[in-house]
Amino acid sequence: MIHDGKTIIACASGAHAHAAIAVIRLSGFQQLSDFQSFFSLQLALVKPRTMMRANLASNGEMVDDICFCYFAAPASYTGENLLELYVHGNTLNVERILALFQTQKSVRLARPGEFSLRALQSKKLTLSQVEGLDLFLNASTPLALNQGMALLHGDLHQAYLDLFVSYKHHKAALELLLDFHEDVGEEEGRAQLSESWKSFFAQLGSLQKRLDPHSSRLLRPEIVIAGLPNAGKSTLFNRWLGEERAIVSAQAGTTRDYIAEDVQIDGVTYRLVDTAGVREAQDKIESRGIELTQQRLARAFYSVLLINPFESDENELKQLMAHPFDLVVLTHADCEGFSDAKKRLVLSGQTLFFGNKDNDFSAIGSFVNKKYVEATAHSPILQERHKSVISACWLKSQAYQNTLQNQSDMAILSHELNTLGHCLQELLGIVSPDEVLDHIFANFCIGK
């Protein structure tokens, strides 16, 4: 996305629901007085970072009674001249004010994320901070919220900076051995090389331990209820939500598409997903529904297999159980003959029983929470970009370590270390080679 020099405008507080107040942002204008025709007070007199009140007007007709605050460049979120309007949050009103400002040729609607992109371009935010902001604003788990804040606050970025400093120490040690070994001495040079590598490798190792291929499931964790048709999935789904959200009927194959709603368990928001019963599909729609069930199961954070022990086809159940379910729930526990019916099933792992009158889902909730606590204990890194770059760095550093141990040719080592360096720069942004040289002369006393 290239900066086209236009002023961008958008509602920053979500324009899709009526609210008491909505915040509209404008960024990138030449001077505040560009908007004079819309304001009832003299904009030339407005001091930056001061809350003001004014009437907004269009062709002399009052549009809204608002408050506003002006942030002069570069001391603003985007680093540009920025104006925040606090308007009445009716969606029509917001639309009307957005349209009013766009009557000026230089103003256009912002694209998603464009304010943050401009903040990045003006170096007000680092890439990690922008990613943190994204994580923070979309978080549905405390892990994502905390990690978003850590990124935004620059904590994780600091860990990458520290890693890069260690890398530069090591690179400097290698350069020293290559170009100045007569000054330093071979033995001393090799010792520095080995020590600096150990320290870098340990730092990278602790980041690598935070990689988890399944961590994307923690961003918006789903609890997926699956089973054969008529197992009682929609019944359990409705009872958990406390409302008649899904259609329940004695006809097998009632749920065709999956249905999802949010549930809270110990401060974490999960998507609870009711799915189409899995069987030999009877038509194209059912077949698609079953495909969707399999997809939801594959990306589920927690999967629950529901079984009606009175109506369970062993072969079909066997096929379903190929998926590693976290929990099995037997339904129809209120029905006569339940104990005998359940004896016919061969089950392993966690199992719970539910009948028509059971409304207490705390047992399932505590199993789900246990898994969440275990899955987040090592603070897994959630950002896909960070995960893939760290894992590439890890692979490269292992290869380099191999060469370091077995290869005495410094030129090859230097080449491999450079490719690792490029990878690290991806975590941080491009760094000029001059910096490495600066580092050598700053940290090592050469030509004593």
Amino acid residing at 28: G
Stretch of 83-91, 114-122, 230-238, 339-347 lying at the interface with Mg ion (CB under 5 A): 230-238
CB proximity list for 447: less than 8 A, separation 6 or greater: 183
Tell whether residue 351 is a contact of ligand GTP (CB under 6 A).
Answer: no
Closest CA to 444 of 193, 202, 194, 200: 193
Q: How far is the CB of 264 from ligand GTP (least distance, A)?
A: 23
Q: Does 189 bind ligand GTP (CB under 6 A)?
A: no
Which CB, 244 or 435, lies closer to ligand GTP? 244
Q: Which of 119, 94, 90, 123 is nearest to 9 (CA)?
A: 94
Q: What is the closest distance, in whole angstroms, from the C-beta atom of residue 282 to ligand GTP in the complex?
A: 12
180 contact partners, CB below 8 Å, separation of at least 6: 446
Contacting residue, 7, 128, 196, 255, with Mg ion by CB under 5 A: 255
Of the two residues 221 and 289, which places its CB atom closer to ligand GTP in the complex?
289
- From 41-49, 136-144, 245-253, 433-441, span contacting ligand GTP (CB under 6 A): 245-253
Q: How far is the CB of 210 from ligand GTP (least distance, A)?
A: 39
Q: How far apart are CA 342 and CA 321, in angstroms?
A: 16
State both tokens at 107.
């103003």
Which of 124, 157, 168, 233 binds ligand GTP (CB under 6 A)? It is 233
Nearest distance from C-beta of residue 112 to ligand GTP, angstroms? 37
Query: Is there binding between residue 192 and Mg ion (CB under 5 A)?
Result: no
Does 312 bind Mg ion (CB under 5 A)? Our answer is no
Beta-bridge mates of residue 39:
56
Any contact of residue 285 with ligand GTP (CB under 6 A)? no
Residue 287 or 402 having the CB closest to ligand GTP: 287
Q: Which is nearer to Mg ion, 222 or 426 (CB)?
A: 222
Residue type present at position 430: I
- Considering only residues 210 to 229 of the shown chain, the ones binding ligand GTP according to CB under 6 A are 227, 229
Q: In whole angstroms, what is the distance from residue 131 CA to residue 381 CA?
A: 12
Q: Can residue 147 be called a binding residue for ligand GTP (CB under 6 A)?
A: no
- Partner touching 79 among ligand GTP, Mg ion, none, CB below 5 to 8 Å by kind: none
**Which residues lie near ligand GTP (CB under 6 A)?**
227, 229-235, 248-250, 252-255, 277, 331-332, 334-335, 354-356
**Which residues lie near Mg ion (CB under 5 A)?**
233-234, 254-255
